[in-house]
């Protein structure tokens, strides 16, 4: 550390994502570093598109300060902000401001402006892996934030290319927004010990066309023997997917489960023989990471993913990849896993090992703290 580096780096993080209890393990890991004093601002709730409301879960709150601050324009991804955020800057006097938002969002501009006012260095987080052009005022917000950011953290490799093309010349690192806690997401005993429901195929995804759940239903139709598809989440396509299951003659084999708390996900994943993420690219979207993949891999569930976006990079050699949109190729992958116990065991072990090597909350926290140190040198 240079003489100008603070003995303890005061970090103020603004993150609506950290409402989720499982994600707060990263915050505990950051707070465990002796040279970091972490304060995290979250809203008490976040309203998802479609009407679902996510409430703050205080699941992991040791070693740092977690504060709920009311948000204006809650549910508006681009325009939400925190009317009383300045008072936290005045109290914390941060050295580093970690803005867990895209550079074109108003909340990023608000925190970036306050960081400059209080003499702090600020970083943004981005998933954006498509080079989109935004209208006023978002293009102006984006330019301001890129001009004044001291660092950028990207959740995937393509995002770095996007922001370089947009003119950001500052330092960037590729670090997942969150990892998993391998002591929580770990292999467990399957309750369906008798295998009465047969080959259990899971899909955890918002029910929208780009997530490709319809492709999974069509692929499953050709599987032999006893099997079930379990779809966890909600979304505007739910009724259409339920109707599709009926049209395909498999309504009695497809279960649509409502969203569950993040703390219940390990038990859910441990009931699966395979987790499928069949995403497909759209003109305005492609898969940015696929967090459920690393959660499933940590639990020892073999994974199958499409070639959409970052999925192949996340899975590596620890699962099966099929060309996005290819129902026959997806069916073939499922058939291989259904028939080959040894392959399932091998992928289960490889997936767990890949998470331990790359995607734990502890490792993500360590890489993030390294950014804080770099910013304050």
pLDDT in tens, 160-187: 999 999 999 999 999 999 999 999 999 9
So what's the pLDDT on residue 192?
Answer: 60
Which pTM value belongs to this model? 0.85
d(CA 68, CA 57): 11
Query: Within this chain, do residues 170 and 231 fall inside the same structural domain, yes or no?
Result: no
Query: Within this chain, do residues 352 and 368 fall inside the same structural domain, yes or no?
Result: no
pLDDT in tens, 305-355: 999 999 999 999 999 999 999 999 999 999 999 999 999 999 999 999 999
Query: Within this chain, do residues 280 and 336 fall inside the same structural domain, yes or no?
Result: yes
Query: Within this chain, do residues 224 and 334 fall inside the same structural domain, yes or no?
Result: yes
CATH of the domain at 19: 3.40.50.2000
pLDDT in tens, 95-112: 999 999 999 999 999 999
Instruction: Work out the average pLDDT over 137-147.
Output: 97
pLDDT band at 212 (very low <50, low <70, confident <90, very high): very high
3-class SS of residue 111: helix
Instruction: Work out the average pLDDT over 206-227.
Output: 97
Q: Are 141 and 297 in contact (CB under 8 A)?
A: no
Residue 4 lies in a domain: no
So what's the pLDDT on residue 55?
Answer: 94
Query: Within this chain, do residues 131 and 203 fall inside the same structural domain, yes or no?
Result: no
Query: Within this chain, do residues 87 and 213 fall inside the same structural domain, yes or no?
Result: no
Asked if omega into 168 is within 30° of 0 (cis), the reply is no
Query: Within this chain, do residues 132 and 213 fall inside the same structural domain, yes or no?
Result: no
* Residue where the block lists tokens 């006097």: 93
Q: How many domains does the chain have?
A: 2
Which residue segment(s) compose the domain that 338 sits in?
Answer: 199-358
CA dihedral 132, 134, 138, 142 (to 10 degrees): 40
pLDDT in tens, 356-370: 999 999 999 999 999
pLDDT in tens, 233-265: 999 999 999 999 999 999 999 999 999 988 899
The radius of gyration computed from the CA coordinates of the chain, to the nearest angstrom, equals 21
Query: Within this chain, do residues 371 and 344 fall inside the same structural domain, yes or no?
Result: no
- On the 0-12 / 13-18 / 19+ scale of CB atoms within 10 A, 69 is middle
Of the candidates 224, 218, 217, the one whose C-alpha atom is nearest the C-alpha of residue 198 is 224
Share above pLDDT 70 across residues of the chain, in percent, rounded to a whole number: 97
Share above pLDDT 90 across residues of the chain, in percent, rounded to a whole number: 92
Backbone conformation region of residue 129, classed left if phi is above 0, alpha if psi is from -120 to 50, else beta: alpha
**Which H helix or E strand runs over 327?**
helix 327-339
Query: Within this chain, do residues 348 and 371 fall inside the same structural domain, yes or no?
Result: no
């Amino acid at each position: 550390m240079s003489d100008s580096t603070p003995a303890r780096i005061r970090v103020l993080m603004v993150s609506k994502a950290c409402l989720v209890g499982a994600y707060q393990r990263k915050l505990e890991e950051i707070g465990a570093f002796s040279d970091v004093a972490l304060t995290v601002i979250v809203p008490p709730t976040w309203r998802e598109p479609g009407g679902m409301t996510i409430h703050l879960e205080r699941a992991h709150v040791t070693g740092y300060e977690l504060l709920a601050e009311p948000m204006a324009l809650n549910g508006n991804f681009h325009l939400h902000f925190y009317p009383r955020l300045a008072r936290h800057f005045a109290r914390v006097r941060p050295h580093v401001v970690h803005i867990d938002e895209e550079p074109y969002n108003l909340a990023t501009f608000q925190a970036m402006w306050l960081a400059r006012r209080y003499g702090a260095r600020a970083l943004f987080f981005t998933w954006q892996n498509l080079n989109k052009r935004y209208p006023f005022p978002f293009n102006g917000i984006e330019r301001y934030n890129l001009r004044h950011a001291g660092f950028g953290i990207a959740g995937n490799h393509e995002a770095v290319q996007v922001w370089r093309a947009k003119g950001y010349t500052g330092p960037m690192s590729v670090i997942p927004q969150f990892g998993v806690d391998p002591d929580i997401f770990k292999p467990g005993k399957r309750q369906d010990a008798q295998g009465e429901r047969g080959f259990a195929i899971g899909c955890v995804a918002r029910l929208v066309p780009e997530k490709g759940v319809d492709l999974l239903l069509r692929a499953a139709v050709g599987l032999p023997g006893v099997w079930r598809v379990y779809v966890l989440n909600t979304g505007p396509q739910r009724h259409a997917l339920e109707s599709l299951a009926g049209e395909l003659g498999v309504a009695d084999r497809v279960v649509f489960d409502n969203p569950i708390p993040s703390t219940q996900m390990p038990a859910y994943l441990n009931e699966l023989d395979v987790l499928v993420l069949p995403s497909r690219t759209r003109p305005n979207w492609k898969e940015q990471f696929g967090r459920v993949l690393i959660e499933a891999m940590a639990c020892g569930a073999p994974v199958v993913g499409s070639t959409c976006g970052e999925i192949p990079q996340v899975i590596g050699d620890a699962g099966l990849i099929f060309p996005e949109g290819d129902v026959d190729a997806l069916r073939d992958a499922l058939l291989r896993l259904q028939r080959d116990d040894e392959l399932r065991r091998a992928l289960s072990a490889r997936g767990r090992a890949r998470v331990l090597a790359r995607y734990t909350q502890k490792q993500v926290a360590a890489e993030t703290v390294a950014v804080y140190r770099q910013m304050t040198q």
